[in-house]
Every structure is written in structure tokens, then in C-alpha cells.
């Protein structure tokens, strides 16, 4: 660590976006520090198998991919510290970051704190994460080819993901707490799968608990309008929304109506020298491959910024 905790670049977060950025910046001798409050790799690190990341014909575990990205960044000189940033202050050409345990200074800052999925908060949800409980159909849907699953949610994202999952699952039980609130276009498309028996909709329904055997989900208990019953399924996909990890930035950088960070075409926020990339950015595609791609792009933009402000 530098003597006065000053760096060319401080990256808040250590997921795929942050680690990719660090690989690029450190190779160009940009003194780079990553600050992570949880686990290196972020949400990717808790994914059992990533099957759609280029270059791995047999897939790769999220933990292994995260570890390899971290090792690669560290090989070029990136430093990783465990702390939680509480505030960010713009002091012109220097940005001040206050952590729980340390204070840091940087010529440029990248916010790559990602998002977290909203949970339904029932027994078994945490225990069976990535072992039958999932929050990304694109990431994990293919593991359930010809197998029965349940989907939780009734908004646009839940119906979109249900439609995507019909290409894999043998059957889908769609669990909706009240009524379906998705757009008419999505509801019309969903009706085709209801009519052919692929999707069964349960209105007024909540999951009571998620159960399993041999560390894998095999059934759920539901409550529909006061009556409980058991559904035998192999997986549960929860789509009740997600939230960006931006609470510490409110009133500091410009956020959209969903609290994602607004950026310009250079991935720069309203504060010069403060950038955002990956899932935390407004308009992100929420995929690991695209998050890594944005990490490479923002690294080049940061280099240009530092060169202009020597």
C-alpha cells in the first residue's frame, strides 16, 4: 500500500468488471487499488457453474473464474484491500474515499459495486443458493433442460424470464403473490404456454419454504390463498427485482429512477474522474461477459482521463 494511501485509480468493488479493469490499468503502470467489502468476484463468485462465459467449453465455476481474474490482476500489480467505502468526496483533481478502516485518495475512481437480487426471505433460499435457487435465467436456465421448475414473480422481468425458461424446462409453475402486472404484450405471449400446458400460473401464492435432498432443491411448500401444498420441482427462479449497491452514493453521483448510476458515453459520471461500469451502471446488460467487456472499455477511458490531467 502506498505510504499515504494515494493511488492513480481506486476501484470500489472486486467483481468481474473491477478485476478486468485492474488487469488493463496495471499493465499500463497505473497504480490501482481495488476495495472490496465482501468476496472477490462479487455475485459471480457464488455461481456454481458459469456456462456462457467465452473461452470455457465445459464451463467454469464462478469461484474459479473469480480467483483466476484476481490472480491475473495481482500478477500485474493490482492491490486488493477489504474495506467498505462509506463516502466519496470530490476535491477536484483528487477524490477522497472514506472507508470503515482507512481513508484513500485517488486521481480517478471507478465504481463497480454491482447489484444484489431482492430476496423473498423464506427458509431454504440462502441454503440452496445456486443449488436449486437462482436469480438469472440466462445464466442458469440451461441446467434445467427437461426438468420441472418454479418461477417467482409477476412483473415484466419475471414473465420475460419465464418465457426464456420455456425453452429448457419440462414445466413451469409460475408463483405470483397477487396478480400478473407484466405488459399486455408479455401476457399475451405467456398465454400461449399456459394454453399448451407448459406454464401453470398460481395467483395469490407465496413460497413458504424451499426444501431439498442431497444439498439440491427437490420441492417447495406454497401457500395459495391460505391453503398450503407441496410442489415437486428441481429449481426455483426468483425474479422479484434487484437493487444496485449505490446507497452510499446518494446525493454524490447522479442516479436514475432505480438508483443505478448514470454515465456518459465514456462511462464517466457527473463527477469528472469518477467512472462507473458493470451491473451498477444504468443500462447495463447484467451478464458477466459484458461486465468484463465494460471493464476493459472503462480502463481505456480512465487512462485517457489520467493522461489529460497529469
The predicted model gives 285-304 an average pLDDT of 95
- In angstroms, the CA 287 to CA 271 distance is 26
pLDDT digits (tens, 9 = 90+) for 141-160: 999 999 999 999 999 889 98
From 195, 217, 238, give the residue that closes a domain: 238
Q: How many domains does the chain have?
A: 2
Query: Where a domain ends, among 238, 259, 285?
Result: 238
190 and 182 Cβ atoms separated by less than 8 Å: yes
What sign does the dihedral 268-270-272-273 (CA atoms) show?
A: negative
CA distance 54 to 41: 17
Q: Residue 156 in 3-state DSSP? A: helix
Rounded to the nearest 5°, which phi and psi values hold at 197? 85, 0
Check whether residue 234 and residue 296 sit in a common domain.
no
Cα–Cα distance, 141 to 234 (Å, whole number): 12
Confidence label for 38 from pLDDT (cuts 50, 70 and 90)? confident
Mean pLDDT of the chain: 94
Regarding whether 148 and 246 lie in a shared domain, the answer is no
Q: What is the CATH number of the domain that holds 264?
A: 3.50.50.60
Tell me the pTM. Answer: 0.76
Which of 45-49, 132-136, 182-186 is the least confident region?
A: 45-49
21/84 same-domain check: yes
* Cell representation of residue 32: 490501482
Using one digit for the tens of pLDDT, what is the confidence trace for 188-244? Answer: 999 999 999 999 999 999 999 999 999 999 999 999 999 999 999 999 999 998 899
Evaluate whether residue 87 is within a structural domain: yes
The C-alpha cell that represents 293 in the structure block: 467487456
How many other C-beta atoms lie within 10 A of the C-beta of residue 254?
Answer: 13
Amino acid at each position: 500500500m502506498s505510504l499515504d494511501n494515494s493511488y492513480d485509480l481506486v476501484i470500489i468493488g472486486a467483481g468481474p468488471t473491477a478485476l478486468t479493469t485492474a488487469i488493463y490499468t496495471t499493465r499500463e503502470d497505473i497504480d490501482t487499488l481495488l476495495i472490496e467489502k465482501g468476496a472477490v468476484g462479487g455475485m459471480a463468485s457464488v455461481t456454481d457453474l458459469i456456462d456462457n462465459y467465452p473461452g470455457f467449453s465445459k464451463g467454469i465455476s464462478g469461484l474459479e473464474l473469480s480467483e483466476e481474474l484476481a490472480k491475473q490482476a495481482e500478477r500485474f500489480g493490482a492491490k486488493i484491500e477489504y474495506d467498505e467505502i462509506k463516502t466519496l468526496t470530490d476535491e477536484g483533481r483528487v477524490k477522497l474515499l472514506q472507508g470503515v478502516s482507512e481513508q484513500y485518495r485517488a486521481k480517478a475512481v471507478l465504481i463497480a459495486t454491482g447489484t444484489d437480487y431482492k430476496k423473498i426471505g423464506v427458509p431454504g433460499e440462502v441454503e440452496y443458493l445456486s443449488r436449486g435457487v437462482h436469480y438469472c435465467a440466462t445464466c442458469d436456465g440451461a441446467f434445467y433442460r427437461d426438468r420441472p421448475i418454479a418461477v417467482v414473480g409477476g412483473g415484466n422481468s419475471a414473465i420475460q424470464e419465464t418465457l426464456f425458461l420455456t425453452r429448457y424446462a419440462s414445466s413451469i409453475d409460475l408463483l405470483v403473490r397477487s396478480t400478473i402486472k407484466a405488459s399486455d404484450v408479455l401476457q399475451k405471449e405467456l398465454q400461449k404456454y399456459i394454453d399448451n400446458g407448459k406454464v401453470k400460473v398460481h395467483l395469490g401464492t407465496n413460497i413458504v419454504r424451499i426444501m431439498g435432498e442431497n444439498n439440491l432443491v427437490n420441492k417447495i411448500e406454497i401457500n395459495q390463498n391460505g391453503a398450503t401444498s407441496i410442489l415437486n420441482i428441481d429449481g426455483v427462479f426468483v425474479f422479484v427485482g434487484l437493487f444496485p449497491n449505490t446507497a452510499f452514493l446518494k446525493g454524490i453521483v447522479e442516479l436514475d429512477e432505480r438508483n443505478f448510476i448514470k454515465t456518459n458515453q465514456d462511462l464517466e459520471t457527473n463527477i469528472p474522474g469518477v467512472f462507473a461500469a458493470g451491473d451498477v451502471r444504468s443500462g447495463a446488460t447484467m451478464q458477466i461477459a459484458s461486465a468484463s467487456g465494460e471493464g476493459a472499455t472503462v480502463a481505456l477511458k480512465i487512462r485517457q482521463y489520467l493522461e489529460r490531467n497529469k
